[in-house]
Amino acid sequence: MDSMTPPGNIVLGGGFAFAVIPNRSQWCALVIKPLLPAIGFSLSDFPMRTNFTHIFVLLFVIVSMAPCGVAMQTAEVEATEKASEKASQKTTEKSPADDGPVISTADQKSPAPEVPDRFLRIQMWDGTVVSGLVSTPAIDVETEFGSLQIPIQRIVNFRPGTDSNSELNALVERHVEDLGDREFRTREAAHRSLVALGPMISKLIRQYDDRGDAERKKHLSDIRKEIDALAEEAEDEGEQSEELLLKGDQVVTPEFSIVGKIQQQKFQVKSKIGDLTIQLADIRKADRGDTPQSGSIRKTVNVAANAFFQKKPTSTKIRVTKGDIIRIEASGVVQWTNWNQVATPAGLPNQGNWNGHANGSLIARVSDSGEYHFIGTESKFTAKKSGLLYLGIAMTDNYANNAGYRWTGKFKAKIKIESGVK
């Protein structure tokens, strides 16, 4: 022991280290482990080299090693738990819902540029787009409720109707008239021409009656169905369908929308290519050019018959933002084979309810803690918080959690989400 560190110094040094190193596992690693070879004796030669100091050092080491083992093991467990928790957090952050890409309405929005008060972007029927300052500070609109004067800077957009476009109006009128023609070829040609105009005349074509003619009645009914199918097909493929034409002129502001007759028949526009005169009949649509672009999402989602919120609702993979306007149309049926009953998205009447919604009905929820919204066959609501949009079927707990029940079929939900940002 003469060549070794004196035992008394070992004890004093260890005690000082214990005082300045607050972490027990660190103290064990830095102090106790290095002491073992420095003590210089083992239990086998203990009787030959025993003195009071050695006994004290031995007791010091034995007493210290017991909590050291516990402390070091505890530190390893804590480190493992922290690493596991960190990995779990990363996984959660990467996968906020089921596997698959998540669409966010926030990603669809782009900031609106500032434009002068009398600025308009005008889209013509021939595809030409003209932007510039118009000479008139406001648009005069005659409506059934009286005359309105709407300042250019308060207009979101306006769209002249067929009454302001004599050529288009005459074309539609002629085709509708030909639907009742005595010649088969004439009727079929008019039918194809009206369908070719597409979803934009969806509302317009509904304003015409059959005028007492059976052939015209049949063709008008078929044309409406075909145009609606084209609009649905565009929505299913995520395409933006054309805006609907009416007979009257449509003017949209942040506060209201109105249909009437725009009194200005032409507009003087100061553009980059010079001063232009644009006829109202040549305008397909005009806007301020300051609306956030691509601020909407369309998607079709299937909801299985057993997509109960108590178990696993269907994630639409759409992340909405607070204030977004959510529109959902639903169709399809689900079968409750044990009850021998069939339900539409409106649910099963007189068969109980869950959270106030009829069993079997289609409902929606934004985020994991949002309120439930009844969808039925059609609904519109505003998101009160941000988060993933879920769809599911309302079902009483004892039915939803009973493995003996069998559910088949599905609902088809067509979703349209518009940005709530003005």
pLDDT per 10-residue tile (average), the chain, 422 residues = 46 46 50 50 44 52 50 50 45 42 63 78 85 94 93 92 82 92 93 86 84 92 88 60 74 91 94 90 86 66 92 89 91 85 89 90 92 94 91 91 86 87 50
What pLDDT is stored for residue 118 in this prediction? 92
What pLDDT is stored for residue 220 in this prediction? 93
What pLDDT is stored for residue 140 in this prediction? 96
pTM: 0.41
Pick among 3.40.50.300, 2.60.120.430, 2.40.128.50, 2.70.150.10: CATH of 296-418 = 2.60.120.430
The residues spanned by each domain of the chain are: 7-93, 119-287, 296-418
What pLDDT is stored for residue 299 in this prediction? 87
What pLDDT is stored for residue 228 in this prediction? 84
What pLDDT is stored for residue 43 in this prediction? 42
What pLDDT is stored for residue 235 in this prediction? 62
What pLDDT is stored for residue 421 in this prediction? 54
Which 3-state string (H, E, C) describes the chain?
Answer: CCCCCCHHHHHHHHHHHHHHCCCHHHHHHHHHHHHHHHHCCCHHHHHHHCCHHHHHHHHHHHHHHHHHHHHHHHHHHHHHHHHHHHHHHHHHHHCCCCCCCCEEHHHHCCCCCCCCCCEEEEEECCCCEEEEEECCCEEEEEECCEEEEEEHHHCCEEECCHHHCHHHHHHHHHHHHHCCCCCHHHHHHHHHHHHHCHHHHHHHHCCCCCCCCHHHHHHHHHHHHHHHHHHHHHHHCCCCCCCCCCCCEEEECCCCEEEEEECCCEEEEEECCEEEEEEHHHEEEEECCCCCCCCEEEEEEEEECCCECCCCCEEEEEEECCCCEEEEEEEEEEEECCCCEEEECCECCCCCEECCEECCCEEEEECCCCCEEECCCEEEEECCCCEEEEEEECCCHHHHCCCCCCEEEEEEEEEEEECCCC
